Structure 1
Amino acid sequence: MNVAERDLLDVNQLINLFDVEKLAAERMTPMAYEYVASGAADEFTLRWNRQALDSIKLNTRVLVDVSRIDTRVSLFGLDLAYPILVAPTAYHRTMHPEGELATARGAGAAEALYVVSSFTNTPLSEIASVATQPLWFQLYVSDDREQTKALVQEAEAQGCRALCVTVDTPVAGVRNRQQRVNFAMPEGIRTPHMADAFALTKSLTWKDVDWLQSFAKIPILLKGILNSDDAELAIQAGVSGIIVSNHGGRNLDTVPATIEALPRIAERVNKRVPVLMDGGIRRGTDVVKAIALGANAVLVGKPICFGLACGGADGVAKVLTILRTELELAMALTGKATLTDIDQSVIWR
């Protein structure tokens, strides 16, 4: 049995996303695993992302016709099969030799939208050439504005349908677990669109959002909103969407779990723009809870990386298929046949 056959056999036996991480921990280098799995400082926020989701109880209804479950959602003119997106994560070639090409193929096989990271190890043009589902692009704004503008225009030229601007990382957080393994790019692996991980700007302000909107031809979402006042300012600035995110617990420790921040942001936004959420999603029930509390869709990052490490494109597709199936089952068992049926009544008070 060769490596590809072994990987496929192992992937087919995976039952849930926790199994995926366990297998990935065996397959990945310690450096790569620590990069993906770790959070900031003492990792309270990393743990809270899961604990907060686990603490929410579901309020079921019975004797409802759930013979046809409809998970479709529309975002910025795109009709998606289900409200689970591949979150932007960096350095996929440290996890699998095919890197982002395998991620794109896996997302395509599972009918999922893939948000490509600025810190991809694979040129965006090559990712676009194998993608069969829509791509978005995640943007870090650097002090080199011409380089940033060129990167936005490259994303547009390659067919990316939206721009997710990360606004919560003027500097990287205290990442002790990464420090302990001396995380660095392995020899021969590069980031073609971002030459320096420390080139991020500390001066990103609302004026820069205005600047991006002055030339971007695709919708702009701001990723990293936790405060409802910032959500209001984002709408006033004319952005197209908001992603409630604490950077997977990787930047500032002891900020709240995203599922805790979501309701107040969704209330403030009041459906004026789509609201998405990432952080801690591991079960289909988590997706139901996020939608019930105001999200239009969720993004999944760490499990995608673990799936990639387990089996390349097949592993990525497996993660998404597990989540999609669990979402459908959770909807049926809570008596919600469509996403629009899911509201706060599904949360046990």
Structure 2
Amino acid sequence: MKVDRRESLRQFGEFVTRSPAVTSQPSAGPTADRVAPVLELVNVPEFESMAKLVLPPAQYDAVSGGHRQSFDRMTFRQRLMVYAMDLDLTTELFGHQMFAPIIVGPVANQGALHPEGELGTARGASAAKAVMVAAQQSSYPIDQIVAASTEPVWFQLYADVSTVLDDARRAVDAGCRALCLTIGVSSDQRPVRTNWDVVEQVSQAVDIPLVVKGVMNVDDARTAGQSGAQGVVVSSHGGLVGGDNTLPIDVLPA
């Protein structure tokens, strides 16, 4: 069945509004009757503003925010005489034809926000025809997350964990299509030094693509490739590394 953008938004909104946090948890914000109808919400900031009304403050603070300052300064440059009705955003990545170059990034412990947790996210990502990256610290086993998705699932894991090779192989056995190896920050969200050898070890231990997350400069991107990575994720881990407050979008070429 073909699912358009508005239907995908509706399904995602229903997933959010079925959460017990919406229906039973107290909120310091306005009452529930001020929550906008799902079909009126069309972008992430609008969903975020509604989440603030219905989630307990601690849960909201754990997942809200992000580096938007640079995005807010950017605008699309309008061009005349360009036909935009049949634009094609499909992108091929690691042999998979993506509907658009958008990937649902890893978020840990989603079960704290909704009983379906990562399973609901997997279904929502599939409805939007998007790849999902499941976090190592997910609320559900990776094999269940993969089973809930009709699109490829990647697995995020930390380079500092002693079981990194076992975790990588477990993800492969579960059916994950790529690995996303987090470097520069530990599994308990502390800045940490990691050796590039671990990238080479993981890449040699599995037969699926390896992506390195935490790269903020060209030299590290080259080193990641030389160490066996097939891709990189430009990220400062929410500002935990790279103390100059450089935002990831600012280090990308124009």
Q: TM-score range by the shorter chain?
A: 0.7 to 0.9
- Aligned partner of residue 211 in structure 2, secondary structure: strand
Counterpart in the other structure of 2:178 = 162
Show structure 1 runs of 5+ residues with no match. Answer: 39-45, 175-201, 264-292, 294-349
**1:104 — aligned with what?**
122
- The answer as to whether partners of 1:116 and 1:138 remain within 8 angstroms in 2 is yes
Q: What residue in structure 1 maps to residue 17 of structure 2? A: 7
Preserved contact between residue 173 and residue 252 of structure 1 (Cα < 8 Å): no
Q: Structure 2 counterpart of 1:109, which letter?
A: A
Note the C-alpha offset of 1:37. Answer: 2.1
Per-residue deviation at 1:12? 2.1
Is 1:221 the counterpart of 2:211? The answer is yes
- Provide the identity percentage: 34
- Contact 1:89 1:116 survives alignment (8 Å): yes
TM-score, with structure 2 as normaliser: 0.80
Seen in structure 2, the aligned counterparts of structure 1 residues 207 and 173 have a Cα distance that, compared at 3 Å, is closer
Answering whether residue 113 of structure 2 is matched by residue 123 of structure 1, we say no
Higher relative contact order (CA 8 A, sep 6+): 1
Deviation at 1:34, TM superposition (A): 1.3
| TM-score normalized with structure 1 length | 0.59
- Conserved in 1, the CA contact under 8 Å of 2:221 and 2:232? yes
Task: Report the Cα distance in structure 1 between the residues aligned to 2:165 and 2:248, rounded to whole angstroms.
Answer: 30
For residue 61 of structure 2, what is the amino acid of its counterpart?
A: E
How far has the Cα of 1:251 moved from its partner? Answer: 4.9
Give CA-to-partner distance per residue, 1:118-175, whole Å, 9 cap, x none. Answer: 010111111112111110111113442xx3222111111111111110112046259x
Gap runs ≥5 in structure 2: 1-13, 19-35
Contact 1:172 1:251 in 2 (8 A): no
Query: What is the distance in 2 between the residues matched to 1:84 and 1:237?
Result: 26
Q: Tell whether 2:63 aligns with 1:36.
A: yes
Higher helix fraction (1 or 2) = 1
Is this contact kept in 1: 2:59–2:113, CA < 8 A?
yes
CA contact (8 A) 1:213 1:220 kept: yes
Cα distance change on mapping 1:153 and 1:5 into 2, 3 Å: closer
AA in 1 matched with 2:173: A
Separation of aligned partners in 1, 2:15 and 2:106? 28
1:95 aligns with 2:93: no
